[in-house]
Amino acid sequence: MASREEIKQRAFAAIDSHADEIVGAAQTILANPEPGFREVKTSRLVAGKFAEWGIPFKAGLALTGVRGELVGGSAGPALALLGELDSLIVQEHPHADAQTGAAHACGHHCQIGMLLGAAVALMQPDVLPQLSGRIVLMAVPAEEYIEIEYRDSLRRAGKLEFLGGKPELVRLGEFDDVDLAMMMHTTSSKEEGQICISGTNNGTVAKKITFIGRGAHAGGSPHLGINALNAATLALTAIHYNRETFRDEDTIRVHPIITKGGEAVSAVPSDVRMETFVRGRTIDAIMDANRKVDRALRAGSLAVGAKVNIQTIPGYLPLKQDRVMNQVFEANAAALVGGSNVGHVSHRTGSTDMGDISHLMPSIHPYVGGATGLGHGANYVVEDYRLAVITAAKALAATAVDLLADGAAKASQVIAGHRPEMTRAEYLRFMRSLAKDQTFEAE
Amino acid sequence: MPDRQELKQRACAAIEAQRQQIVDIAKAVLSNPEPGFREQKTARLVTQKFQELGITPRQGLAITGVKGRVRGGAGLGPRVALLGELDSLIVNDHPHADPQTGAAHACGHHCQIGMMLGALIGLHTPEVLRHLSGEIVPFAVPAEEFIEVERRLQLRAERQVEFLGGKQELIRLGEFDDVDVAVMCHTASDMNEHKFAVGGTSNGHVVKYVQFTGLGAHAGAAPHRGINALNAASFAIQAMHANRETFQEEDIPRVHGIMTRGGEAVNAVPADVRLEWRVRSASPAAVARNSAVVDRCLKSGALAVGASVKITNIPGYLPMRNDQRLQDLFVDNAAQVVGKSSTLIIPARRNRGGSTDMGDLSQLLPVCHPYVAGAVGAGHSKDYLITDYQAAVVNPAKIMAMVVIDLLADGAAKGKEVIQEHRAALSKAAYLRLQRDLAQVVDYRGE
């Protein structure tokens, strides 16, 4: 029986020999960006590779997800490796789709590259039989929580229940037979090193708000109108008046936009719409801030005598990473890039649906360098594909080897030491309890 | 029997003879400014002057009011009140402000005391008085300026007053039950070339004493434990501004106020923030409508941060109705004193935007509330000064005396006509009911 080190070297060799193909896949995806639940070409590319390599897979999960599976030489736990299919929409990005404005301004194309790289490594006949358990290769849709209007239309059409890819896959049972999960994300932050071990992330709920006033001629008879735009701007002000009550440690983020602000300047706006996220470090903190945001929205409508409809949509749960898995991963990262090039970040204030997975099973979500520019900005581009795809693929593959070799001793240890925050049933119940659609009269 | 013109000349001559004394009275009041219901020195001065004329007044009416009574020598007839307002404003930086209290006559009420005594001196002349029927009721009245609401609420809690405006309270006490007609003049600084102006109307209003209650907490260490009552109040004020576009111009809406408490210490989350607010409009219905909007805004402020708000709605003043016949008499006599070209008739619908408790009285009795020149600077500001005491005190003393002569001479024929032709808008009972209905406390918890 080969040592773990020998297995890893075989895996790395496979990645190196497929390097051009893997990087090429990432760059093809870069050139064909597709936002969440619309990743048709990207999904087809992944399915094509799986088919080409003889990996059994299912496609069309949560509309565009692709799930392949590698079975080790003996029974054991199931480890999922995740890659996110979706792009953002950043019109002015140099690689934006001219028609749709879709662009990979968050590096997800590299995730598919590294997923394919890890797959090709772990499927090798001198690697896979040495592992116990299964490796679930998940190309997942819709991590970016955008196009809420569109996704809500999918929901109403019965095609989705949740608006994020991983929550929807959980609902569909695609994580039911998975015991551990990991993925990597690119970063442009130099201080995070070449590979960065990360801690927690904010969770979030999303809100769609409609202020319902009463139209009237803005010059001729404003006294007959009820100004929904005033309700909305006052609601924003009310939110600000609550910021001082947000605790530093809760890293609350409330950042609304107004998506409709009135029809014509000569009419009192009667239909004004807003979207916001309410993010926080813990579920309790999100719920507290969400309650204050709801109250502020009602205050805005009460101020001018408008109605307000508040739709609260479950977003993502805060990310919690498994300490032991991260230790295993960090050792592999240090071996690949040198210990001094491994960075650490304790908390990030963005959100990811990997947070949802982390409530159900031991999960990690480290970062890899290679990108420059501001995340989600027009200047976010991947410059070092060697690092962002090839090295990352090796880190994932090596960690999988550590977890599943030796009869999956390490994975079993991780699972034994992990207490999931929620069962799938509890998760679904909680997520569904977040979904609210309430209309408040001003009184 | 002398004709009215002769009587007027005698009265004016008496006033002219006492010109210096009358102006000095006004200036003495100017130097001793006292806000409403606290006009002790001013009331004492009025009492003394009444006594010098041999009039024994009733004192302490609505705390500081002083009311005299002079019978004409020609038999019974209407009772005509000459009103003068005792109270000052509070304008700390006014050049004549009391350094202790900040009280200052930035609205010219000191001139009213001078002109009321001046008119009394003119009418009290024996060769005038003996030819008048009925009674002259010189009445120094407290607290026209609706200020120091918190302090006056304390008086109310102590049952020293029920209403927070002087004439309102005097109506309640029955001190206008024996008055048939009431007149006064107010100084103004916006008269342009005119010396005398009469007509128009004023706003009614409701007064709000507002207490936002939050939750105190260390503002640095634990702001998340606090509920910021100052944020509640600030939001409420912004909400009012956002509603301004729904106010109608013809209502002459005026929504304004001050913050009388904005927090105790900068390092504590403010838990007790108070406003004194005012909603003025041209009609009681518009006052009620706009008052409801402001109450909604105050509630929204509490809701915005999860605070509580207590709104004490206090009956304010009613719009002014000048009696047309009285107004005509004022116009005629003013033309004789200051000249026709210096006498301005303000259109009946013209609303000056402010409010006066003379408006309350005008709902019950024939009254007239003209304006006289002599002041400069913006009313209620540090710049409001009387620069021409002839115009501000002596002329109106003469004009009021002449109007009273018109009303009460010749067997008070004119006075009786005024009373007979007048249609009161409200009975005293209806007035008290209306005002008491406005006195409501709203308690709202924002959650």
B48 and B103 co-located in one domain: yes
A193 and A254 co-located in one domain: no
Distance between start and end Cα atoms, chain B: 77
B230 and B83 co-located in one domain: no
Q: Is residue A280's pLDDT more than 90?
A: yes
- What CA–CA distance (Å, rounded) separates B372 from B92? 25
Q: Do A238 and B305 touch (CB under 8 A)?
A: yes
Residue B349 structural domain: 4-201+319-408
Chain B residue with CA closest to A239: the answer is: B304
- What CA–CA distance (Å, rounded) separates A75 from A134? 8
Residue to substitute from A223, A251, A298, A443, interface B, most B β-carbons within 10 A:
A223
The pLDDT mean for chain B works out to: 96
Contacting residues of B for A245, CB less than 8 Å apart: 223-224, 226-228, 305
B172 and B88 co-located in one domain: yes
- What CA–CA distance (Å, rounded) separates A219 from A268? 9
The shortest CB-CB distance from B304 to any of A218, A227, A241 is to A241
pLDDT-derived band at A148, boundaries 50, 70, 90: confident
Query: Distance, in angstroms, between A244 CA and closest chain B CA?
Result: 6
pLDDT of residue A223: 93
pLDDT in tens, B225-262: 999 999 999 999 999 999 999 999 999 999 999 999 99
Q: Is residue A2's pLDDT more than 90?
A: no
The secondary structure of B81-140 as a DSSP string is: EEEEE--BEE-TTSTT--TTT-EE-SS-HHHHHHHHHHHHHHHHSHHHHTT--SEEEEEE
* SS3 track for chain A: CCCHHHHHHHHHHHHHHCHHHHHHHHHHHHHCCCECCCCHHHHHHHHHHHHHHCCCEEEEECCCEEEEEEECCEEEEEEEEEEECCEEECCCCCCCCCCCCEECCCCHHHHHHHHHHHHHHHCCCCCHHHCEEEEEEEEECCCCCCCHHHHHHHHHCCCCCCCCHHHHHHHCCCCCCCCEEECCEECCCHHHECEEEEEEECEEEEEEEEEECECCECCCCHHHCECHHHHHHHHHHHHHHHHHHCCHHHCCEECCEEEECCCCCCECCCEEEEEEEEEECCHHHHHHHHHHHHHHHHHHHHHHCCEEEEEEEEEECCECCCHHHHHHHHHHHHHHHCHHHEEEEEEECCCCCHHHHHCCCCEECCEECCEECCCCCCCCEECCHHHHHHHHHHHHHHHHHHHHHHHHHHHHHHHHHCCCCCCHHHHHHHHHHHCEEEEECCC
- What CA–CA distance (Å, rounded) separates A89 from A68? 28
Q: Are A260 and A273 in contact (CB under 8 A)?
A: yes
B40 and B167 co-located in one domain: yes
Structure-token match 């008496």, residue found: B14
B89 and B197 co-located in one domain: yes
Residue A65 falls inside a structural domain: yes
The shortest CB-CB distance from B235 to any of A247, A299, A304 is to A299
Residue B118 falls inside a structural domain: yes
Residue B414 falls inside a structural domain: no
Residue A371 structural domain: 4-199+320-422
Residue B420 falls inside a structural domain: no
Structure-token match 């008491």, residue found: B436
The size of the A-B interface in CB pairs under 8 A is 89
Q: Residue A247: which CATH number?
A: 3.30.70.360
Give the mean model confidence (pLDDT) for residues A162-176: 97
B159 and B212 co-located in one domain: no
pLDDT of residue A265: 87
A193 and A82 co-located in one domain: yes
Q: Are A320 and A358 in contact (CB under 8 A)?
A: yes
pLDDT in tens, B166-222: 999 999 999 999 999 999 999 999 999 999 999 999 999 999 999 999 999 999 889
A18 and A97 co-located in one domain: yes
pLDDT of residue A430: 97
3-state DSSP call for residue B399? Answer: helix
A125 and A270 co-located in one domain: no
B334 and B358 co-located in one domain: yes
A130 and A187 co-located in one domain: yes
A291 and A340 co-located in one domain: no
The shortest CB-CB distance from B226 to any of A226, A245, A298 is to A245
Residue A388 falls inside a structural domain: yes
pLDDT in tens, A177-189: 999 999 999 999 9
A380 and A237 co-located in one domain: no
Give the mean model confidence (pLDDT) for residues B146-175: 97
A135 and A257 co-located in one domain: no
pLDDT-derived band at B377, boundaries 50, 70, 90: very high
Q: Is residue A112's pLDDT more than 90?
A: yes
Chain A residue with CA closest to B221: the answer is: A247
Q: Is residue A1's pLDDT more than 80?
A: no
CB-based contact (8 Å) between A302 and chain B? yes
Q: Do B303 and A222 touch (CB under 8 A)?
A: no
- Give the residue numbers in B contacting A (CB under 8 Å), as ranges: 219, 223-224, 226-228, 231-232, 234-235, 238-239, 242-243, 245-248, 269, 293, 296-297, 299-301, 303-306, 446-447
Nearest CA-CA partner of A389 in A194, A233, A127? A194
pLDDT of residue B264: 87
Q: Could you tell me which residues are beta bridge partners of residue B276?
A: B209, B258
B197 and B209 co-located in one domain: no
Q: Residue B232: which CATH number?
A: 3.30.70.360
Residue B427 falls inside a structural domain: no
Q: Are A170 and A379 in contact (CB under 8 A)?
A: no
Residue A437 falls inside a structural domain: no
Chain A residue with CA closest to B303: the answer is: A299
Q: How many domains does chain B have?
A: 2
Q: Could you tell me which residues are beta bridge partners of residue A83?
A: A139
Residue A431 falls inside a structural domain: no
Contacting residues of B for A226, CB less than 8 Å apart: 246
Residue A309 falls inside a structural domain: yes
A262 and A211 co-located in one domain: yes
**Tokens describing residue A326:** 């991260």
B323 and B307 co-located in one domain: no
pLDDT of residue A166: 98
Q: Do A238 and B299 touch (CB under 8 A)?
A: no
Residue A29 falls inside a structural domain: yes
pLDDT of residue B266: 87
Q: Residue B180: which CATH number?
A: 3.40.630.10
Nearest CA-CA partner of A53 in A21, A7, A101, A8? A21
ipTM: 0.81
CB within 8 Å of chain B, chain A residues 243-262: 244-247
Q: Do B239 and A304 touch (CB under 8 A)?
A: yes
Contacts of B222 (CB under 8 A, 6+ apart): none
A374 and A265 co-located in one domain: no
Residue B104 falls inside a structural domain: yes
B372 and B323 co-located in one domain: yes
Q: Is residue B1's pLDDT more than 80?
A: no
Report in angstroms the alpha-carbon separations of B398 from A276, B41, B341: 70, 26, 18
Single residue among A282, A316, A350 that ends a domain in this structure? A316
Single residue among A265, A294, A316 that ends a domain in this structure? A316
Q: Which amino acid is at A333?
A: A
Q: Do A223 and B246 touch (CB under 8 A)?
A: yes
- What CA–CA distance (Å, rounded) separates A111 from A165? 15
B52 and B194 co-located in one domain: yes
Residue A193 falls inside a structural domain: yes
Q: Do A442 and B296 touch (CB under 8 A)?
A: yes
Chain B residue with CA closest to A230: the answer is: B242
Q: Do B224 and A442 touch (CB under 8 A)?
A: no
A19 and A114 co-located in one domain: yes
Q: What is the pTM of this model?
A: 0.86
DSSP state of B55: -
B68 and B123 co-located in one domain: yes
Residue B431 falls inside a structural domain: no
Contacts of B274 (CB under 8 A, 6+ apart): B150, B209, B210, B211, B212, B259, B260, B261
Q: How many domains does chain A have?
A: 2
Q: Are B150 and B312 in contact (CB under 8 A)?
A: no
pLDDT-derived band at A443, boundaries 50, 70, 90: confident
A240 and A368 co-located in one domain: no
Strand-strand pairing, A342-348 and A271-280:
unpaired
Nearest CA-CA partner of B115 in B179, B186, B180, B65? B186
Q: Residue A92: which CATH number?
A: 3.40.630.10
pLDDT-derived band at A49, boundaries 50, 70, 90: very high
Radius of gyration, CA atoms only, chain B: 23
Residue A440 falls inside a structural domain: no
pLDDT-derived band at A438, boundaries 50, 70, 90: very high
The pLDDT mean for chain A works out to: 96
